[in-house]
Amino acid sequence: MQKEILSTNEAGNFFFGFHDTLAWNDNGTRLAALKIKHINIPPSLDNPCSFGFIDDEQRFHEIGITYAYNYPQGARQQWLHASNNLIINDKVAVTWGSKVYDTDEGKLISELPYPCHVITKEGWAFGLDYARLHRVGGYGYTGIKDKTEGQNAPDTIGITKHNIYTNENSLLVSIKEVANFEMSENIGVHHYITHLVLNPLQDRIAFLHRFKLKDGGETTRLMTIGSDGNNLRCLATGFLSHFDWKDNSTILIWGRIGSNVEKLRNSKLYSLLPKELIFYAKKALKLIYYSSNNSFVKSDFNWMLFSDDDTSKQDFFAKDIMVVDGHPMFCPTNRDWLICDTYPNEAGIRELFLFQESTQKRILLGQYKMIDSKPNIEDAKPTLTDVEPSVLKSFSIEMMAFYRSGLHCDLHPRWKPDGSTVAFDSIHSGERKIYSFDVRNYLQ
C-alpha cells in the first residue's frame, strides 16, 4: 500500500492549517508551512509562530514570524497567483492585518491594515474580524481585544474586501446585515461570520453565519454572497460544519437540518419563552425526540449538496458511504474527486480517504492516531481571558486548552494545484508534522 511522505525531516513542529486553500504555489515547488517549538499551549502574543516554505528537497526556508495564527486554520498563509509571493495574517500596529512577503528574496513587500481569509487571483482579499472570532469561541487570534464586545450584531464589521495592490477597500457585508437577512438578530446573541470559501470562478463566497441561543446552543446558517457584495443568500439553517464548493453553483456540507430541535428554535414559541424556561423546554424535547417510541422522525446528519440559487435545492452526497463529519476539498483539476478526513474514532484514529462521486468509490489512504499528551493548563489560562464567559461555561478549561493547542490536530487535507498530491497535518509520530501523499495512481 502506498504511504505518506514526511514533507521535511527538520526538527520542530510543522503545520499548515485548514483544508480550504491550496498549500503549494502555482507551479507546485513550494509548500507553505508554519513552524513552532511547543504545541502544548494555545497561541498568544508571547508565543509567535515562524513561517516559510518547504522546497522539493524537503528543506524548510524560514521567512519570518507571525502573531496571527491558530492551529486549526493556521495564519491563512496563501500564495499569490503566478508568483512566489506569500500573503499571511499578522499583527499590524494595534490590529489584525496581513503582510506580503517575497519568498525568493525572503523580505517583506507590504503591510496591509486588513486581514486576509481568502484571496482571488486578481488580489482581492476578503477578511474577518479575528478579535471577535476569538471572543465568541471561533477560529480567531489571541491578544487583541474585541472592540465590538457587547454588540449583538455590529454594523461596522463583517466581511472586509481589499485589493492588496491598489489598497481599495470596503465592507462587503456587515454582521448586522447578515443577522437580519431572512431572520431577526434578536433570535440569538453574539452573531459572527466564519469560514469564507471562494467558488472556483471566484465570483461567489460561501460562509457560515453563527449565533448563540438562549438554551446555550448555537445555530449555523450556510450563506453565500457575490464577491461584488450582491445577491446575499441563505441556503440552509441547522447544525452545519465543514464544506467546499462542488462546482461554481453547488456546495457540499456536513450537517443536520430540519430536526425538531431546529424547528423549536425557529418557532414563535421559542422567541416568547423566558430564558430560564428555554433549558427545560430543550431538555424535554430531546427526551421525546430520541425516545424509541415516539411519532417524531429523526433527522440524521448527512453530507448534503445545496444549490447556490433561489431554490436552495438539496440532495444527499455519498449517502451511507461518507457517514461522519470531516474536512472535504474537491480536486482542483477534476472535481469528480475529493480528499477528506474523519474525526478520531473511539480508538483515537483519523482516516484519510479519496472519494469519487461518479463511481461512489471510497479509497482509504491511511489511518493516523492521536497522542495522549495533555496541554499545559496554567499556560493556557491567560490566553482565554478575552473569551466570552458564556462560551467558557460551555466547556471545561481542559477541553478549551486542548482544542486551542497544537495537540488537537485534524488532518485537514489539501490539494496541490495540479491535482497530483495532497498534503495534510498529523501528530501520530508524537510531533506535529506535514505529510504529502501522491494520489496520481488512484485518479487515473
- Going by C-beta distance under 8 Å and a sequence separation of 6 or more, which residues neighbour residue 357? 317, 318, 336, 337, 338
Last residue of a domain, one of 298, 325, 352: 298
Shared domain check, 398 and 282 = no
Domain enclosing residue 29, as ranges: 5-258+299-443
Query: Are residues 283 and 349 both part of a single domain?
Result: no
CA 118 – CA 225 distance, rounded (Å): 14
pLDDT in tens, 376-427: 899 888 888 899 998 888 888 899 999 999 999 999 999 999 999 999 999 9
Residues 219 and 341 in one domain: yes
Residue 256 grid coordinates:
443536520
Nearest-angstrom CA–CA distance, 352 and 172: 36
The alpha-carbon radius of gyration of the chain (Å, integer) is: 21
Looking at residue 260, what is its pLDDT? Answer: 61
Residues 28 and 43 in one domain: yes
CB 72 within 8 A of CB 432: no
* Residue 2 pLDDT: 74
Closest CA to 230 of 167, 312, 145, 172: 172
- Same-domain status, 271 and 333: no
Residues in the chain with pLDDT values less than 70? 1, 259-299
Grid cell 441556503 in the structure block, residue: 235
Q: How far apart are CA 57 and CA 409, in angstroms?
A: 25
Q: What is the pLDDT of residue 300?
A: 84
At which of 298, 329, 357 does a domain end?
A: 298
Instruction: Tell whether 179 and 282 lie within a shared domain.
Output: no
Tally helices (H) and strands (E) across the chain. 9, 27
For the chain, the domain total comes to: 2
CA torsion, points 294, 297, 298, 303, in degrees to nearest 10?
A: 170
Residues 285 and 372 placed together within one structural domain of the fold: no
C-alpha cell at 143: 491578544
Q: Are residues 284 and 315 in the same domain?
A: no
CATH code, domain with 422:
2.130.10.10
- The residue from 270, 298, 326 where one domain ends is 298
Domain shared by 268 and 343, yes or no? no
Residue 187 φ/ψ, nearest 5 degrees: -65, -35
The answer on 204 and 328 residing in a single domain is yes
Q: Please check whether residues 128 and 276 belong to one and the same domain.
A: no
Q: Do 126 and 93 share a structural domain?
A: yes
Q: What is the 3-state secondary structure (H, E, C) of 351-378?
A: EEEEEECCCCEEEEEEEEECCCCCCCHH
